[in-house]
């Protein structure tokens, strides 16, 4: 375990929280914390049922919201939220893997308030995740959409995601109707960071945003060796 030193360049991810503007409306973009549980729950309760069909969990359930908050607190999941007047206007979640051979892969999902559709909210949130991901050791982003979600598919293609698979009748809605699932993948990298596979087994530097401890290991770690914080709090920094 190493301490901070002058040969470390610093975080490459954009600073959060920060003020943004969507459709002329000022908002605060920041990482979600467990204190946002009630606000997030209210956000999902306000959405039409059609927006909730194919999510990984039922966010209208208080129990599922609590489980989500636990994942965020442990750093197993990173959720970004855009907030205006105390209400969530949109969220983007990056699901991280603790399996060594897929630790470099993240799965993203974006949900926006109905009033924010067509204003660029989804694009803004997804671009923020793409920018943040390399600092978490993520090199590939996976996104999913059903064949009926044409707007989502168009956004993914606009952001250079590539369709890699189409799975017939793979998901089922609440009425029991089956739908084809389309899987997209995009490679992500930061020009200020040397790709991990180009380090040839040499250690990379990872800074814990909870306790500040710097450690050097070749691959993205699953937890801080000092405080135990999960991968969502371990930010890659560049050695100089």
Q: What are the φ and ψ backbone dihedral angles of 147, each rounded to 5 degrees?
A: -65, -25
pLDDT in tens, 167-210: 999 988 878 899 999 999 999 998 888 888 888 888 999 999 99
Between helices 150-158 and 121-132, what is the axis angle to 10°? 50
Q: State the pLDDT at residue 21.
A: 94
Give the residue-averaged pLDDT of 125-146: 96
Least confident segment among 53-62, 161-170, 216-225:
53-62
Q: State the pLDDT at residue 3.
A: 38
Q: Which range, 5-14, 169-178, 215-224, is most confident?
A: 215-224
pLDDT in tens, 21-68: 999 999 999 999 999 999 999 999 999 888 887 888 899 999 999 999
Identify the residue with better confidence: 74 or 12.
Answer: 74
Instruction: Look up residue 99 and give its two tokens.
Output: 């399996």
Q: Both ends of the chain: CA-CA distance in Å?
A: 18
- pLDDT of 127 over the 70 cut: yes
Q: State the pLDDT at residue 1.
A: 37
Q: How confident is the model at residue 240 (pLDDT cuts 50, 70, 90)?
A: low
Q: State the pLDDT at residue 47.
A: 94
CA neighbor of 144 nearest in space, from 195, 97, 179, 100: 179
- Give the whole-number percent of the chain exceeding pLDDT 90: 75
Cis-peptide into 108, omega within 30 deg: no
- Give domain 15-139's CATH architecture: 3-Layer(aba) Sandwich (3.40)
Task: State the chain's maximal CA–CA distance in angstroms.
Answer: 59
Angstrom CA distances, 71 to 43, 65, 149, 231, stand at: 19, 10, 27, 11
Give the residue-averaged pLDDT of 149-176: 93
Whole-number average pLDDT of the chain: 90
Identify the residue with better confidence: 199 or 17.
Answer: 17
């Amino acid at each position: 375990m190493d301490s901070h030193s002058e040969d470390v360049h610093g975080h490459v991810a954009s600073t959060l929280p920060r003020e943004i503007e969507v459709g002329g409306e000022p908002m605060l973009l920041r990482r979600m914390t467990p204190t946002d549980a009630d606000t997030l729950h209210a956000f999902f309760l306000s959405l039409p049922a059609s927006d909730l069909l194919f999510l990984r969990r039922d966010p209208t359930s208080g129990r599922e919201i609590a489980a989500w908050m636990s994942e965020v607190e442990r750093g197993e999941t990173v959720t970004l939220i855009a907030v205006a007047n105390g209400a969530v206007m949109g969220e983007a979640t990056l699901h991280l893997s603790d399996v060594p051979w897929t630790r470099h892969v993240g799965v993203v999902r974006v949900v926006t308030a109905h009033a924010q559709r067509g204003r660029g909210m989804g694009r803004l949130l997804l671009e923020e995740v793409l920018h943040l991901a390399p600092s978490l050791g993520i090199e590939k982003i996976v996104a999913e959409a059903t064949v009926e979600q044409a707007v989502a598919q168009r956004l993914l293609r606009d952001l250079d995601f590539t369709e890699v698979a189409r799975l017939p009748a793979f998901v089922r809605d609440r009425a029991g109707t089956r739908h084809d699932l389309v899987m997209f993948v995009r490679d992500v990298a930061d020009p200020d960071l040397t790709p991990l596979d180009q380090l040839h087994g040499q250690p990379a530097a990872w800074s814990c945003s909870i306790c500040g401890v710097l450690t050097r290991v070749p691959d993205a770690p699953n937890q801080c060796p000092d405080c135990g914080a999960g991968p969502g709090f371990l930010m890659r920094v560049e050695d100089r």
